[in-house]
C-alpha cells in the first residue's frame, strides 16, 4: 500500500487504529484529501449531488498529482460511483471493499455476505447493480448499534469505546453467519469495521475481506 491516497469525508467520526481514516496507524507516506458532502447519508441513499462527485474527482486528481499510486475512499457506500471515479484515473481507484464482490463470488460459489453499519443505500444499489448483487446476503448493524450511534454523533468521539463496539459487532456478525449456513466469505462494506476484521474472522471462521483487501487486489494488477 505504498503511496496510497485516501479520500476522506469531513466528519467527526471516531478514528480507531486499523481504520483507513486513522492517519496515525497507516503506513508512512499515506496521503489524505478531505472533502465535504452537503448531506452525506442522504446522498449515499439517494445519489451523489453533482458538487459531491466533482469534489471526489478533484480530490482524486490532487492525490495523483501528489504522487499517490492507488486511490481509495473511507466510505464503502461510494461503490455505485466506482465506474465514474476510475474511468479516467491514471492509477487504480478503489471506492469500496465491494470492488471485490465479483471476484469473491466466483471464488466462493456458496455465497458471500456483506456487512454494513446500515442498509439505507440498498434500494439505490439494487437500481444501480440489478442482477449483479442478486443473491448476495446483506446485513446492517442497525440504528441501535453502538457503532452506528458513534458514526452518527450520538456517542461523542472522545467517549467512543472500541471494546464496546467489538462486542456488539461480533454478536451481530456471528448471528448473521449462523442464519446463513452456506456463506463462505464476508465483505466488510464499512471501513470503520476494518479494525475488527481479524477478530471477526477468528469468531466466524470465514475469510473476511475489507477495504485493505480491495486495495491489495487492485494494486496487484489482478483483473
The CATH architecture one would assign to domain 4-96 is 3-Layer(aba) Sandwich (3.40)
Q: What is the CA radius of gyration of the chain?
A: 16
- With 90 as the cut, is the pLDDT of residue 221 above it? no
DSSP conformational letter for 136: -
- In this predicted structure, the answer to whether residue 49 has a pLDDT above a threshold of 90 is yes
What is the Cβ-side half-sphere exposure of residue 193, based on CA atoms within 13 angstroms? Answer: 31
Residue intervals of the chain classified under CATH 3.40.50.1860 are 4-96, 98-212
> Which of 156, 165, 153 lies closest to 192, judged by CA?
165
The pLDDT score that the predictor gives to residue 77 is: 92
Partners of 208 in beta bridges: 186
- Match domain 98-212 to its CATH number in 2.60.40.420, 2.60.40.1220, 1.10.150.310, 3.40.50.1860: 3.40.50.1860
What pLDDT is recorded for position 197? 97
60 has a pLDDT exceeding 80: yes
pLDDT value at residue 11: 73
**CA angle, 67 as apex, 61 and 71 as ends, to 5°?**
55
Amino acid at each position: 500500500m505504498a503511496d496510497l491516497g485516501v479520500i476522506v469525508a469531513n466528519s467527526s467520526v471516531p478514528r480507531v487504529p486499523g481504520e483507513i481514516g486513522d492517519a496515525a496507524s497507516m503506513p508512512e507516506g499515506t496521503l489524505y484529501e478531505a472533502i465535504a458532502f452537503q448531506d452525506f447519508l442522504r446522498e449515499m441513499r439517494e445519489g451523489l449531488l453533482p458538487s459531491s462527485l466533482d469534489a471526489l474527482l478533484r480530490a482524486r486528481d490532487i492525490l495523483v498529482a501528489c504522487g499517490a499510486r492507488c486511490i481509495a475512499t473511507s466510505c464503502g457506500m461510494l461503490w455505485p460511483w466506482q465506474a465514474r471515479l476510475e474511468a479516467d484515473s491514471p492509477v487504480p481507484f478503489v471506492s469500496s471493499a465491494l470492488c471485490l464482490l465479483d471476484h469473491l463470488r466466483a471464488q466462493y460459489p456458496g455465497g458471500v455476505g456483506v456487512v454494513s453499519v446500515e442498509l439505507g443505500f440498498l434500494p439505490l444499489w439494487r437500481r444501480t447493480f440489478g442482477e449483479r448483487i442478486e443473491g448476495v446476503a446483506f446485513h446492517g448493524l442497525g440504528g441501535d448499534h453502538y457503532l452506528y450511534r458513534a458514526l452518527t454523533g450520538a456517542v461523542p468521539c472522545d467517549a467512543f469505546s472500541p471494546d464496546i463496539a467489538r462486542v456488539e459487532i461480533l454478536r451481530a456478525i456471528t448471528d448473521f453467519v449462523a442464519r446463513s449456513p452456506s456463506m463462505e466469505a464476508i465483505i466488510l462494506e464499512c471501513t470503520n469495521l476494518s479494525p475488527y476484521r481479524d477478530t471477526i474472522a477468528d469468531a466466524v471462521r470465514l475469510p473476511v475481506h475489507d477495504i485493505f483487501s480491495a486495495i491489495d487486489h487492485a494494486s496487484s494488477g489482478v483483473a
